[in-house]
Structure 1
Amino acid sequence: MPARNDMLAEGGVDTSAPPQDFSVGEILGQVAGLIQAKKYDEVLGLIQNAMTKDPTNGDLINAKGCVFSALGRQRDALKCYRDALEFNATGSGLWSNLGTAFKHLKYFSAAIACHRRAIDLSGEEPFLHHNLGLCYAEAGQHGEAIMAFNRALALQPTYHLARWDRARSFLFLGNYRQGWADYEVRLISGQIPKRPLPGRKWSGEPYPGERLVILTEQGFGDTLWILRYLSTVKGLGGELVIECQPALCAFVASLGIADQVIAHGQPLPDAAYHCHQCSLPGLFTPDLSRLSTRAYLSPPTDRKDKFKPHFEKAAGRLKIGIVWSGSMTFGRNADRALPLERLLLALDFPGVQLYSLQKGLPEQELASLPQGRRPIIDLAAELSDFADTAAAVSGLDLVIMTDSAVAHLAGGLGIPVWVLLGYSAHWLWLLNRTDCPWYPSTRLFRPRVEGDWDYVLDNVAAELLKLVPPR
């Protein structure tokens, strides 16, 4: 049976209750593996079959809740955990599972209360403090989250995911010195796949006459964010090789800084040093005072004319690019995306020409808009990579969007961009600010509470009207 900490690696669910008899124990021993393999029908069938023989077994009811949680059916999971508590009211893991289900449903006060009860019942379990910290962080209470993560790490110093989550809370609070130190744990926690790497880990020292490879990791936005450091890194040494996602290769090469750009998945060259890209801020940005206010990206000169015919159609109207969803593969995209129809309530004014920069499945929403609206010019077909997107964005007056990679692109280019944030936004946007030190051309629109998109859109509409010329 998997160890308890393995099952709770990301503040998940506890399926490790002691078995009541051999058959139940055997079933519980299979649950974690089947959930990890996403064999949900198989594991539900296994549990349901066992429950026909023992319908009041709290461990089986809890395991069923774990499957529902993995399926994203948090209301069903919540019911299971409550039912299981009828048979084991002092089960600390059950109370923690219930708290995690409440957290997913955005019932943060109830979630915190459940996690605290779990700790009262079994306070020396590191995962209970980790789960409490995750809940505090989700609720935006990062000071309390750090204290919970500290306790988890005091009980288990090698609890890598607790250190990772503490890093993000430090970064939310702008405590970069401690945040970056914890952030490095991702390199040993298994979050970044292991692979052969050239040379030794670079620590920011000069490397004249040597080759340094910067390794890609995480998403498009992370790569665009760290491109600010390329000139500094190149100035410290010899040959600079940048690995990045294929859709970014042409754009990164067009900046003219790297000696070589390699698409992720291609063989890496021999080198004296390597450095993961998201380690660069820890080497060069110990605090916010070190951030430059200048734009560090520029559009490719050979693509700037590509979008001129589209921009001429604006005929003096304000040219505004829009994006309403990030990557659909991102697990929490639903928390940061908006339906296009709802976004247009705040943007569709005379004097405005909207340009869609949206890619992927959400782009289909353009075709389902009611007839009679002012036309939106869809640029998606001509955005083959980020070099194209950079050229398009550079010709706009403003970009208005939910949180995704284009926000980092526009910010890096120095183009005005309004970012509409969900309640639990990315740590880079910090807390309670309407500006962003990382991107001076960026303005942030935040909700008052979870799901308060009407407040966000109301403020966007009011501010946009200040820019729209009378016609």
Structure 2
Amino acid sequence: MTVRVDQFPEVQGVVSEPPVQARNLSVGEVLGQVTELVQAKKYDEVQALLQNAMGQHPNNGDLINANGYVLTAMKRQSDALRWYRDALEFSPMGSGIWNNLGTAFKHLKFYNVAIACHQRAIALSNNEAFLHHNLGLCYAEVGQHGEAIMAFDRALALQSDFHLARWDRARSYLHLGNYRKGWADYEVRLVSGQIPARSVSGRQWTGTPYAGSRLLVLAEQGFGDTLWALRYLPRVKGLGGELIVECQPALCSLVASLGVADRVVAKGEPLPEADYYCSFCSLPGLFTPDLSLLPAQPYLSKPAEREAKFEPYLRKGAGCLKVGIVWSGSVTFERNAERAISLERLLQSVDFPGVQLYSLQKGSPEQELQGVELRRPIIDLAPELKDFADTAAVVANLDLVIMTDSAVAHLAGGLGVPVWILLGHSAHWLWLLDRADSPWYPSARLFRPRIEGDWDHVLDNLAIELMKLATVKVPLSSVG
């Protein structure tokens, strides 16, 4: 028998039972061990177990499906696909197998057939909530967020405490700009385990005045999320008492320079007692039920005391268009490969006469600079960028920043510096749908692909727009 496994919420796995050590196991006993071994990432052991069992029961669809499940856990989607198809030969009415096949197709970005598989799974099932959730995930991947919301609605009607379905419904609402409903669902992250539970004093703040009291704003998620939500601090402070702001250490100096918080605490340091607390990413839900209520722009300012150390680097770009570049976000982000590009590919679009490039890239992708030889060398600022206050000091003095979707985009946008953001097909909900501009950042311009993986289209449009800005003097005799 097959049931859903929480560790792989899109994949229908097998019942977890105490491991059985005997070699000649029943099918049920084998399936009972599979989940436990996969959870422990003992892939060699579980594959040997299944190979032995399939030798005894070669026509058992559940065992074949389980082998596909193991391969899915190992991120070998193409291999898993074959096993799920084989399982259907023996169990064509197995809703779990159709679900798993749809999930494998989704990971391979075959979205239309993935949707059809999930619909087949639902038709053959007893109307289980997670099957509707998986269908909704496929709709969301292709930008059909209205259909995704209906699927998530059905999942939640069947299981009201299905936190992942509520979270994914939040993202679809936010993609569509339905902030009133989106923010309400977005709060589920605080109880679903997606945001680690914090032991803090006081009551959760709901946006009411707190004169004479202390409010603690807590850091959560990544740098970009904090930078995005900083716009609300003046409103928060304007409602009353003492404001304590926790943020990632690399952001502390920048946040302190805003002059809004009474105290800035680096994440990881002891927190003071407080009367109220609020997570950073809950602030938009308190103040922006629709886009007409966005705070005034820009909302960040450059730390003037940091500018002097960057003056020699900026002087090298005198007379040129000074352009900062970032080609990758954090490599630890699960889907970074979908939003990052190589430096070599980016340079095909940005290396024009009259343009001085400044690398703002941090982390391991910075190593790509070592293999680059250009007519005008890229100025690598990474060794000087010790925190986001440093980055703000240099970005504020650039003419333009060109980058893939990561934290510096929020920094540049918050400073009001022109920033061109290169988006993947399944972009973050903040950028909404089919827009070339962003109401969150009026200085931003969005470059979108036509289809999945269509970076050529993105970089082509980028190149022609940058060429228009580059200050190049071409002798008339060389034209025509």
Q: Could you say which TM-score interval applies, normalised by the shorter chain?
A: over 0.9
Report deviation, 1:86. 1.5
| Cα distance in 2 between the residues matched to 1:91 and 1:291 | 49
Aligned equivalent of 2:323:
320
Report deviation, 1:24. 2.9
Is 1:78 paired with 2:81? yes
Code of the residue aligned with 2:361 in structure 1: it is Q
Report deviation, 1:392. 1.5
Total equivalences in the alignment? 467
Contact 2:245–2:264 under 8 Å retained in 1? yes
Aligned equivalent of 1:218:
221
Aligned equivalent of 2:97:
94
Is 1:28 paired with 2:28? no
Aligned equivalent of 1:198:
201
Aligned equivalent of 2:386:
384
Contact 2:2–2:62 under 8 Å retained in 1? no
Cα 1:110–1:380 change in 2 (3 A) is same
| Cα distance in 2 between the residues matched to 1:93 and 1:304 | 59
Stretch of structure 1 that moved more, 143-152 or 86-95: 86-95
Contact 1:293–1:439 under 8 Å retained in 2? no
Contact 2:328–2:406 under 8 Å retained in 1? yes
Say which SS state the counterpart of residue 390 (structure 1) adopts.
helix
5+ residue gaps, structure 1, are none
Is 1:437 paired with 2:439? yes
Aligned equivalent of 2:59:
56
| Cα distance in 2 between the residues matched to 1:355 and 1:426 | 26
Say which SS state the counterpart of residue 179 (structure 1) adopts.
helix
Aligned equivalent of 1:339:
342
Q: 1:41 pairs with 40, 44, 60, which one?
A: 44
Q: 1:15 pairs with 8, 13, 16, which one?
A: 13
Report deviation, 1:2. 9.8
Deviations 1:79-101 (A, max 9, x none): 12111111211111111111111
Contact 1:319–1:354 under 8 Å retained in 2? yes
Code of the residue aligned with 1:195 in structure 2: it is R
| Cα distance in 1 between the residues matched to 2:264 and 2:42 | 40
Aligned equivalent of 1:446:
448
Aligned equivalent of 2:476:
none
Contact 1:8–1:127 under 8 Å retained in 2? no
Deviations 1:273-305 (A, max 9, x none): 011111111000000111134100112121012
Say which SS state the counterpart of residue 50 (structure 1) adopts.
helix
Taking only the aligned residue pairs, the percentage that are identical comes to: 70
| Cα distance in 1 between the residues matched to 2:397 and 2:311 | 8
Cα 1:18–1:313 change in 2 (3 A) is closer
Within 5 A, what are the aligned runs for 1:354-373? 354-369=357-372, 371-373=373-375
Is 1:109 paired with 2:109? no
- Cα RMSD over matched residues? 1.8
Is 1:165 paired with 2:162? no
Say which SS state the counterpart of residue 157 (structure 1) adopts.
coil
Q: 2:251 pairs with 248, 252, 259, which one?
A: 248
Say which SS state the counterpart of residue 72 (structure 1) adopts.
coil
Cα 1:292–1:165 change in 2 (3 A) is same
| Cα distance in 1 between the residues matched to 2:270 and 2:410 | 28
Aligned equivalent of 1:183:
186
Cα 1:373–1:98 change in 2 (3 A) is farther
| Cα distance in 1 between the residues matched to 2:230 and 2:433 | 24
| Cα distance in 1 between the residues matched to 2:86 and 2:321 | 57
Cα 1:254–1:30 change in 2 (3 A) is farther
Cα 1:254–1:23 change in 2 (3 A) is farther
Say which SS state the counterpart of residue 188 (structure 2) adopts.
helix
Report deviation, 1:60. 2.4
TM-score, normalised with respect to structure 2: 0.94
Cα 1:436–1:48 change in 2 (3 A) is same
Deviations 1:363-395 (A, max 9, x none): 1111122x4543111111111111111112111
Report deviation, 1:44. 3.0
Cα 1:40–1:393 change in 2 (3 A) is farther
Code of the residue aligned with 1:193 in structure 2: it is P
Aligned equivalent of 2:478:
none
| Cα distance in 2 between the residues matched to 1:2 and 1:239 | 54
TM-score, normalised with respect to structure 1: 0.95
Contact 1:177–1:286 under 8 Å retained in 2? yes
5+ residue gaps, structure 2, are 18-23, 474-480
Deviations 1:159-199 (A, max 9, x none): 11101100000000000000000111111111111231210
Aligned equivalent of 2:353:
350
